[in-house]
Amino acid sequence: MTEIVKFTNCFLADNSELIRKDLFINTALGIIIEDPGNRYDTSKIDVIDLDGYIISPGFLDIQINGCFGLDYSTTFTNEKSKMEFVQEYNHSMEKLLKYGVTSICPTVTSSFPEVYKDVLLILGLKTRSSVKADSLGVHIEGPFISPLKKGCHPPETITTMSNGYESLYERYGQYFEKYTAILTAAPEIEGCLDIIPKLVENEDIVFSIGHTMADFDTGLQAVKNGASMMTHLFNAMPTYTARDVGVVGLISATSDELSKSKIPFYGLVADGIHVHPSAINLAYNANPDKAILVTDALYLIGCEDGIYERGNQKIEKKGHLLHLDGTSTIAGSATYLLDCVHNLIKWTGIPIEKALATITNNPSRSLKLSKRKGFLNPGCDADLAILTKSGELKQVYKLGRKVHHFN
């Protein structure tokens, strides 16, 4: 079996550009490599003609609460239920590859300590697999959030950081930093602004502003303290108005308020339900290099329509729409990531290469992973999505191994 594969007659979608260029991968190492030139016996190179298709880095979803019936925010009653969870989790990560999603941040919403104790060490174990999507570390969303902007988070779980950084250990466990990639909290709650600098001393953890009633100045202080992301922009935060822009205003902060490099990355749920298309267009164009499409998918994605129980709550699924039963409160999404990309293209008019950056390059840079994931640079994992120019997924590769082919 050849170790070197050359993709030819293709376009590379990377860095918001579309370039006609060959791509080389080493299947033994599972990485992208430089053009070997004359340094390698050409008879030992497997050449794959892609017939004008686009090669994109595999897709990264950094806010996904579950999928295919598995809720990441759960707890175990015994060892058997734990093993069943692990089995379902691995199976769901395999199924995600079918949709071009090669890495995620499994997201745990506001919960009691026993949930974090049970699932963080499973979901947060960072992987590098050739057969399933990788975990980049957990996105912990809550419970240090505003009760006024709780969304579908159970109100009984919401709390403050009255004991400072110790509050994080009390809720998440003593080793949470090892398993965490993103922590979403409301900067205005007691103790929150003070913990941000210590949290982000760990370069593997990002602090994200979300589920908040903070005004612009409080959000600005959070960014100056080390916050570098905002969770599902527009949702669960104050409305942007002409004289009171709230934390939404951070994405277009003036240069005397924030340098361009300090403007936070921001998640957008482009499902046509969470945010109006006009607002998606406005937000994307405010700062394209910081826009990240996320699904905010609940475990009901991939499930039949109906009413489902989640803890003490009931959630109604109608197509891509999820609501707390009997209310208008959105309860996450059931829209796949590539569908969000197609929506972004339709609503903004941008070319596919720029849209793909919002699920590859941008999330990778937000988590400081650009040397490993989300780019087509030599040394990066050969996690690849092959698409038509209209954005139809045709093939998926994981660490250089073809795992899906669609006619």
- Three-state secondary structure call for residue 225: helix
User: Is 232 within any annotated ligand binding site?
Assistant: yes
Q: Is 331 annotated as a binding residue?
A: yes
* Topology given in CATH for the domain delimited by 59-366: TIM Barrel (3.20.20)
| Residue 236 is assigned to a ligand binding site | yes
At 18, give phi and psi (nearest 5°): -120, 110
Interatomic CA distance for residues 60 and 106, integer angstroms: 11
303 annotated to a ligand binding site: no
Output the pTM of the full model: 0.95
330 is in an annotated binding site: yes
Please give the full DSSP string across 280-323, using - where no structure is assigned.
Answer: HHHHHHH-GGGEEE---B-TTTTSPSEEEEETTEEEEEETTEEE
Enumerate the H helices of 157-210 as residue ranges.
Answer: 166-172, 176-179, 192-201
Residue by residue, pLDDT tens for the chain (407 residues) are 579 999 999 999 999 999 999 999 999 999 999 998 877 676 789 999 999 999 999 999 999 999 999 999 999 999 999 999 999 999 999 999 999 999 999 999 999 999 999 999 999 999 999 999 999 999 999 999 999 999 989 999 999 999 999 999 999 999 999 999 999 999 999 999 999 999 999 999 999 999 999 999 999 999 999 999 999 999 999 999 999 999 999 999 999 999 999 999 999 999 998 999 999 999 999 999 999 999 998 888 888 888 888 777 888 888 877 888 888 787 777 899 999 999 999 999 999 999 999 999 999 999 999 999 999 999 999 999 999 999 999 999 999 999 999 98
The tokens for 384 are 């690849």
Given 61, 71, 271, 296, the catalytic residue: 296
DSSP 99-155: GTEEEEEEEEES--HHHHHHHHHHHTS----SSSPEE--EEEE-SSS-GGG-TTS-G
Q: Is 276 annotated as a binding residue?
A: no
CA distance 382 to 376: 8
Domain map (residue ranges) of the chain? 4-56+376-405, 59-366
Task: Tell me if 152 is assigned to a ligand binding site.
Answer: yes
Q: Residues 332, 322: contact at Cβ < 8 Å?
A: yes
What fold characterizes domain 4-56+376-405?
Answer: Urease, subunit C; domain 1 (2.30.40)
Contact 317/300 with Cβ under 8 angstroms? yes
Residue 139 marked as a ligand binder: no
pLDDT value, residue 1? 58
Q: Is 49 a catalytic residue?
A: no
Binding site annotation covers 166? no
CA distances from 281 to 116, 275, 287, 356 (A): 36, 10, 11, 15
Contact 240/249 with Cβ under 8 angstroms? yes
Query: Are the folds of 4-56+376-405 and 59-366 the same?
Result: no
Q: Which helix (H) or strand (E) holds 376?
A: none
pLDDT of residue 23: 98
